[in-house]
Structure 1
């Protein structure tokens, strides 16, 4: 694999990271409603989920799932149901979802991390990204295809986490004043819930390309 190919893949990954999708919208919702720490935990959870997709893609299991309409549909509906579940929870909450003070903040942040992880793992579009994009940057006669696939996947995930961190800091800074207002913070929580429900419904109706 040449340096030119590697740079092209990094550039393609950056462009795709900047396109709003379920993970980016989940990240945005957490950051706007709950602040920088919540956004960072969501970002790292999403990034860990991306490594699961990379592992599955390298072992070839993603290809089997995406080749089966039944398996793909099942994964899609599980992911959609999870997003709707998160959204309804936010919509039913009283007041805002501001992070608690003291020791309980660690538990809250851990929950957000795993929610981000599941949000990514249950998104079949991420699996499709690895299956569709990675082979475009591989040579059919590559003597070390697994090593190079892993190198490309790790590079893409590093671009993803860097992009997410920058996004979180910018979004948190722009909305910090809003979260300090209790009424606005409560509205942001409801908006986040509606966003998650909308994402779940959108994911449920999407078809594989």
Structure 2
């Protein structure tokens, strides 16, 4: 039902998004460095639940919306492309922030860590636009069952995001220390991730295959 090209497209977008500066990554890295890996993992649990909330909520609404007005996929595709380009610029521009530029945060108990991770994700405009404007453009109306396609593609995004975030949480302390001693590597990280997002934005903007009939 979901073609390999769509899955690979979502994987590419998910990687570009999760490795670019954003509230989720900033929060998880800060917690992992200041309070330890366990705190980072608990916080990541809240972030993961936030992804599930977006997955269910947006797909239940989008399934009915696209069935009634399939032309909206074109609008959504362009909005998603413009957002990716904006995110790319904010990553590369002078003064852009790396995901490993960490701010001190106070220690909190597990329940608060989980809830803060959840709310950070739910209130993250980056994730809202990802689910509302970017992932839906990989849905092919001719393949049928829009709801199932949306859930499967969203599941792929969650798998990528949680896996990458977990890896970074476990290695946050070592990575932050390494990059702090090598500021040029921070700039390289921003340039690479920003470039990936920019390429994805152009590809989404000019790829009409997902809305062709």
TM-score when normalising by structure 1: 0.59
Deviation at 1:51, TM superposition (A): 0.9
1:24 aligns with 2:10: no
1:118 maps onto 2:119 in alignment: yes
User: Following the alignment from structure 1 to structure 2, what is the Cα–Cα distance between the partners of residues 8 and 134?
Assistant: 9
C-alpha separation between the residues in 2 aligned to 1:7 and 1:122?
A: 27
Partner of 2:128: 127
Please state how far the C-alpha of 1:98 moved relative to its aligned partner. 5.0
Structure 1 segment 166-177 matched on structure 2, within 5 A? 166-173=167-174
Aligned length: 138
Q: Which residue of 2 aligns with 1:4?
A: 5
1:97 to partner: Cα distance = 3.9
Which residue of the partner structure matches residue 15 of structure 1? 16
Distance 1:34 1:27 in 2: 10
1:139 equivalent in structure 2: 140
Moved more, 128-137 or 165-174: 165-174
Q: Distance in 2 between matches of 1:111 and 1:12?
A: 30
Q: CA deviation at 1:30?
A: 0.9
**CA deviation string 1:52-84 (max 9, x = no partner):** 1111111228x9xxxxxxxxxxxxxxxxxxxxx
CA contact (8 A) 2:135 2:153 kept: yes
- In structure 1, the gaps of 5 or more residues are 64-89, 100-107, 177-209
Q: Structure 2 vs 1, CA of residues 148 and 111 (structure 1 numbering), >3 Å: closer, same or farther?
A: same
Closer, same or farther: CA 16–125 of 1 in aligned 2, 3 Å: closer
Which residue does 1:163 correspond to in 2? Answer: 164
> Displacement, 1:124?
3.1
Which residue does 2:152 correspond to in 1? 151
Distance 1:27 1:5, change over 3 A: same
